[in-house]
Chain A
Amino acid sequence: MSSSSPPAGAASAAISASEKVDGFTRKSVRKAQRQKRSQGSSQFRSQGSQAELHPLPQLKDATSNEQQDLFCQKLQQCCILFDFMDSVSDLKSKEIKRATLNELVEYVSTNRGVIVESAYSDIVKMISANIFRTLPPSDNPDFDPEEDEPTLEASWPHIQLVYEFFLRFLESPDFQPSIAKRYIDQKFVQQLLELFDSEDPRERDFLKTVLHRIYGKFLGLRAFIRKQINNIFLSSNYLTLPLPFFPSSIINGFALPLKAEHKQFLMKVLIPMHTAKGLALFHAQLAYCVVQFLEKDTTLTEPVIRGLLKFWPKTCSQKEVMFLGEIEEILDVIEPTQFKKIEEPLFKQISKCVSSSHFQVAERALYFWNNEYILSLIEENIDKILPIMFASLYKISKEHWNPTIVALVYNVLKTLMEMNGKLFDDLTSSYKAERQREKKKELEREELWKKLEELKLKKALEKQNSAYNMHSILSNTSAE
């Protein structure tokens, strides 16, 4: 796991050196550095002598015979790359390329019949030459999309136009996937996916749209794309910076009954993704995806909820609130039969949340009782749920520090009492006895372990003594 991520290694070596100087303010130090160099670019390896660009005639001025040739010439011209880290070099050529790219974008989006079969190769070549590149090392090994400023792509003035052109190309009514698939193949998609490591949000946005279009237009690549996305998600070192979310529309397109592959995607990718560090950034979309799955196949409810319970946040209250939100969304669409299957573990967790000393967590959980549908589910299963919830509710109604929570709990208790007054009374009267029984059990447990420890010591001692006897016998004999 660790050996596979030298980028972190590379940067951490750098950090550890700076830690010596200032371990506490690392973040601020990094920020200061980044202000100096907030732009990065793929390493630029000069391809020998840099060609200087000469402006070609405008496409609109050419005759229709020449246009096609000129179009390809311009595409080839745009394959030449420039060093944007050096802001003063090749200014003239950079400007010519920018103007040409603009012209190309304009050309494919306003003219019909210009994307002819012979042009595909040059088009894809130009796109590949510009956007496929090794991304530079991140300034920040544990980039936190929420906190940190992203490193921006320095060559954006050109790359942006290339992406723009790519999109217009894909969206053009003349575009024919059957021809394009010779060039936009698995290898192409693979390289495209690698670019999602880019920290630049502008680029990530374009990539998202481009990938969408490709997924939409190239049926033959769909399975491959899904598999590669799986791989990216599953390689743990990418988890800190997940793909900008787009599987929701993919999920929408899944046919029923769901294939095993799709279910696996849900259980082995989407659910574990709830543990990601930057969950807050994409939780809404993630929850939406999960709910989409459940709407398609209700039998997935139980494994999904159990999965969420397994990954329930232990120390992060913000995340806990998000989880509760997701659970409510799921409960909104749950079938009563499915609800019965998970009510016990689920309400055990909810009862813990309700008594959280973090008032936002407690509050979020208590809001469940404002939801009509959930309320009806609880009422149907009150015999099961009330005994689980009672102790925590009873306790916090007396002990919670936050008056709002106490007020909410009173309301909830009242609702529950109205649902089954008899059971409520029974639980109230047995509450004390119950607590005492728990205490007794606790004592018994301690006792048990104490005895086990003693037994262990005894055995260890026996073993030692026998070994010691052996030892002394041996040493005696050797002494003789």
Chain B
Amino acid sequence: MAGASGLGTGPGAAGGDGDDSLYPIAVLIDELRNEDVQLRLNSIKKLSTIALALGVERTRSELLPFLTDTIYDEDEVLLALAEQLGNFTGLVGGPDFAHCLLPPLENLATVEETVVRDKAVESLRQISQEHTPVALEAYFVPLVKRLASGDWFTSRTSACSLFSVCYPRASNAVKAEIRQQFRSLCSDDTPMVRRAAASKLGEFAKVLELDSVKSEIVPLFTNLASDEQDSVRLLAVEACVSIAQLLSQDDLETLVMPTLRQAVEDKSWRVRYMVADKFSELQKAMGPKITLNDLIPAFQNLLKDCEAEVRAAAAHKVKELGENLPIEDRETIIMNQILPYIKELVSDTNPHVKSALASVIMGLSTILGKENTIEHLLPLFLAQLKDECPEVRLNIISNLDCVNEVIGIRQLSQSLLPAIVELAEDAKWRVRLAIIEYMPLLAGQLGVEFFDEKLNSLCMAWLVDHVYAIREAATNNLMKLVQKFGTEWAQNTIVPKVLVMANDPNYLHRMTTLFCINALSEACGQEITTKQMLPIVLKMAGDQVANVRFNVAKSLQKIGPILDTNALQGEVKPVLQKLGQDEDMDVKYFAQEAISVVAQRLRKLDFPVKDSGEPSVPRADKNHFPRPRVPGEDTGKGPVYQLHGDTRDTLAQLEIAELVHFSQSRD
């Protein structure tokens, strides 16, 4: 870390010709070996800049050798380096020179730290694609071989991920060698390497010729699937999916199924969990026949597994399983072979299992149709709505839309209400928060009448919750409801109640009124805002609590765009000016901020034409475009002058979009 003398080139050698060598490499390299890790990291992250400054030739001849030698560094720096090098092909002179990047990456692919190694491998995989077939065999394949026969397990694990990227473009002789090496890593004596090989088995199988898959991959798969370590066996399950996709039905039966059957019954729950977790993929890969004969019984076992983890994973797949069954048999299979097990799970002892099931069970109603849903599923839904675990109830409520399509929500509404009310009053605020988030959905499903009758009071009660997050969510909820039910509804049911709170003795509730106004004004439109809300806000400017006053200022700034000139000029401005003289520092600050925004707006309203002439977007280069007009933006909402307020931002966005678009199209 001392000085730049390590590198063969002193500053003398760098005394540059041409304008590329403005900076002696020594200076740059000094930056790369600065004592401060953070600075070193910064320099590495800008490695592409350094390379650009050096030019392709010196990057190859000086920078890369230096990087290859300084592999001893903090992992954080190495990680950044590994990432950078993946995108370096252009900086060393294009594909013909891509192989120059291999030595440093090879070193990085052998280090202890997994994150660094993985990143190096990722970069190697990327670069492999940029090699010509000749270079691939001359440089890349030998590198893979070196890694695969490395002494320490780290290099061998890295090699596992590289076989599949060089195989397709290698010659036949080399292909045979690659397969041979992969084989030997699959029976490596460290479990870490076997895990790495097992996790790449599927990917490797995909690039192999079908014959080799059958003759070589399948035996490897069988071995790994009966490894002594469960961490290896479970990875074989993943590979099973990819391998199955490549084989014919007959081959599947003889080559893959025995192993898969074994995995379903594995003594380690981790392996069984994996089968459950990958069930949909397995089902698709194995095809309908094997699914019926083998996988359905296997699935039944997973649903009643002794470990809750496995049951939960299987329960998660119930819906997908149904969807992936052949349409004509779906109903019978689920009704006869799956539903009995599901019924058991509804009263499982483990809350995770129940909530996993609750998150998908509603999806079955579309598959089973109206009658079955009413007869068989509905009792389950109702039981789950009464479950002791709030998560289960939430999961059911959050998926109501599926049922609504099939049987309509009315069937459920009687049971729904107590469940909702209970969740709405749950002692945990996060449960309350979750149910609030479903309110707009519920409102849409249940309709305005039901809502007014049963749920409206809940929504209003949340506004005075003692947790801020709930009050905030309740405010947003109101906005969404107004968007759904319209302004007239808002005017009749929501706005009066909100405005009454402005006189609440609790200042937090008074502030809630302001927050609601902020949220609702846009949805309610100019008339309601000006006539009903504005007077209340203005009145609150005299509140004795400073927090309320500065929120008045903020609110006025917020609703400003919705008001017309008269209101702004005659009512808002004087109040803001008064607040601007407030004795409280914060009130003053926010009032002044609001004043300047309102003033800007007033100016705009006065001179609507001038507005489009002031570009606030930084110009990117000399190319100047005529500003495009906004198409279809002015489709009849609000009075004319409002258009300008909206269009200005849209214009800016369009302009940026245009620039981005343009620079891309040049490449």
Residues of A within 8 A of B (CB): 1, 3-7, 9-11, 13-14, 17-18, 20-24, 43-45, 134, 136-137, 187, 190, 231, 234-237, 264, 268, 272, 310, 345, 348, 445, 448-449, 451-453, 455-456, 459, 461, 464, 467-468, 471
Q: Which of B137-145, B228-236, B255-263, B579-587 contacts A (4 or more CB under 8 A)?
A: B228-236
Q: Is the CB of B428 within 8 A of A22?
A: yes
A21 to B394: give the CA distance in the assembly, Å.
9
Q: Is the CB of A20 within 8 A of B112?
A: no
A270 to chain B, nearest CB (A): 12
Cβ–Cβ < 8 Å partners of A461 in chain B: 621
Q: Is the CB of A467 within 8 A of B667?
A: yes
19 examples of A-B residue contacts, CB within 8 angstroms? A1-B118, A3-B238, A6-B277, A7-B270, A18-B352, A20-B391, A21-B390, A22-B428, A24-B430, A43-B306, A45-B306, A137-B269, A137-B307, A231-B190, A231-B191, A268-B112, A348-B35, A464-B666, A471-B665
Q: Is the CB of A43 within 8 A of B269?
A: yes
A315 to chain B, nearest CB (A): 12
Cβ–Cβ < 8 Å partners of A456 in chain B: 48-49, 52-53
Q: Which of B53, B112, B309 contacts A272 (CB 8 A)?
A: B112
A272 to B23: give the CA distance in the assembly, Å.
38
Q: Is the CB of B192 within 8 A of A136?
A: no
Q: Is the CB of B390 within 8 A of A268?
A: no
Indicate if B557 sits at the interface (CB-CB under 8 A).
Answer: no
**What residue in chain B is nearest A312 (Cβ atoms)?**
B74
Within 8 A of A (CB), among B177-213: 190-192, 195, 199
A234 to B192: give the CA distance in the assembly, Å.
8
B386 to chain A, nearest CB (A): 17
B109 to chain A, nearest CB (A): 14
Indicate if B31 sits at the interface (CB-CB under 8 A).
Answer: yes
Indicate if B153 sits at the interface (CB-CB under 8 A).
Answer: yes
Q: Considering the complex of A and B, which 9 residue pairs feature the smallest CB-CB distances, nearest first? A: A43-B306, A14-B352, A10-B309, A22-B430, A137-B309, A468-B666, A452-B49, A4-B195, A1-B114
**What residue in chain A is nearest B27 (Cβ atoms)?**
A448
**What residue in chain B is nearest A230 (Cβ atoms)?**
B190
Indicate if B355 sits at the interface (CB-CB under 8 A).
Answer: yes
A345 to B277: give the CA distance in the assembly, Å.
49
Cβ–Cβ < 8 Å partners of A17 in chain B: 352, 355-356, 359, 391, 395
A14 to B348: give the CA distance in the assembly, Å.
15
Residues of B within 8 A of A (CB): 1, 22-23, 27, 31, 35, 39, 46, 48-50, 52-53, 74-75, 112, 114-115, 118, 152-153, 190-192, 195, 199, 228, 230-231, 234-235, 238, 267-270, 273-274, 277, 306-309, 312-313, 316, 352, 355-356, 359, 390-391, 394-395, 428, 430-431, 434, 621, 663, 665-667
**What residue in chain A is nearest B267 (Cβ atoms)?**
A134
- In the complex where A10-B313, A187-B228 touch, is A20 in contact with B434 (Cβ < 8 A)? yes
Max count, chain B CB within 10 A of own CB: residue among A13, A18, A20, A24: A20
Cβ–Cβ < 8 Å partners of B268 in chain A: 134
Q: Is the CB of A136 within 8 A of B52?
A: no
Known pairs A18-B391, A43-B269. 7 more at Cβ < 8 A?
A: A4-B231, A17-B391, A18-B355, A134-B230, A134-B267, A231-B190, A467-B666
Q: Is the CB of A448 within 8 A of B23?
A: yes
**What residue in chain A is nearest B191 (Cβ atoms)?**
A231
A43 to B309: give the CA distance in the assembly, Å.
12
Cβ–Cβ < 8 Å partners of B31 in chain A: 445, 448
**What residue in chain A is nearest B429 (Cβ atoms)?**
A22
Cβ–Cβ < 8 Å partners of B195 in chain A: 4, 235
- In the complex where A1-B114, A20-B434 touch, is A6 in contact with B274 (Cβ < 8 A)? yes
From DSSP, what is the main secondary structure of chain B's interface residues? Answer: helix
Q: Is the CB of B49 within 8 A of A14?
A: no
**What residue in chain A is nearest B352 (Cβ atoms)?**
A14
B286 to chain A, nearest CB (A): 21
A442 to B394: give the CA distance in the assembly, Å.
57
Max count, chain A CB within 10 A of own CB: residue among B152, B199, B307: B307
Q: Which of B235, B621, B665 contacts A3 (CB 8 A)?
A: B235
A358 to B622: give the CA distance in the assembly, Å.
53
**What residue in chain B is nearest A22 (Cβ atoms)?**
B430
A5 to B273: give the CA distance in the assembly, Å.
11
Q: Is the CB of B391 within 8 A of A190?
A: no
A467 to B667: give the CA distance in the assembly, Å.
6
A190 to B269: give the CA distance in the assembly, Å.
19
Q: Is the CB of A21 within 8 A of B428?
A: yes
**What residue in chain A is nearest B190 (Cβ atoms)?**
A231
- In the complex where A6-B277, A234-B153 touch, is A471 in contact with B666 (Cβ < 8 A)? yes
A318 to chain B, nearest CB (A): 21
Q: Which of B49, B306, B434 contacts A21 (CB 8 A)?
A: B434
Cβ–Cβ < 8 Å partners of A237 in chain B: 231
Cβ–Cβ < 8 Å partners of B27 in chain A: 448
**What residue in chain B is nearest A445 (Cβ atoms)?**
B31
Q: Is the CB of B307 within 8 A of A136?
A: yes
Q: Which of A20, A45, A452 contacts B46 (CB 8 A)?
A: A452
B150 to chain A, nearest CB (A): 13
Cβ–Cβ < 8 Å partners of A464 in chain B: 663, 666
Q: Is the CB of B235 within 8 A of A4?
A: yes
Q: Is the CB of B313 within 8 A of A21?
A: no
A471 to B664: give the CA distance in the assembly, Å.
12
A236 to B154: give the CA distance in the assembly, Å.
12
A165 to chain B, nearest CB (A): 24
Q: Is the CB of A10 within 8 A of B273?
A: yes
Max count, chain B CB within 10 A of own CB: residue among A21, A45, A456, A464: A21
Cβ–Cβ < 8 Å partners of B115 in chain A: 1
Cβ–Cβ < 8 Å partners of A467 in chain B: 666-667
B433 to chain A, nearest CB (A): 9
Cβ–Cβ < 8 Å partners of A468 in chain B: 666
**What residue in chain B is nearest A345 (Cβ atoms)?**
B1
Cβ–Cβ < 8 Å partners of A11 in chain B: 309
Q: Which of A23, A136, A234, A459 contacts B269 (CB 8 A)?
A: A136
A23 to chain B, nearest CB (A): 7
A409 to B59: give the CA distance in the assembly, Å.
47
Q: Is the CB of B430 within 8 A of A13?
A: no
Q: Which of A22, A268, A310 contacts B74 (CB 8 A)?
A: A310
Cβ–Cβ < 8 Å partners of A44 in chain B: 306
Q: Which of B152, B306, B313, B395 contacts A268 (CB 8 A)?
A: B152
Cβ–Cβ < 8 Å partners of B228 in chain A: 187, 190
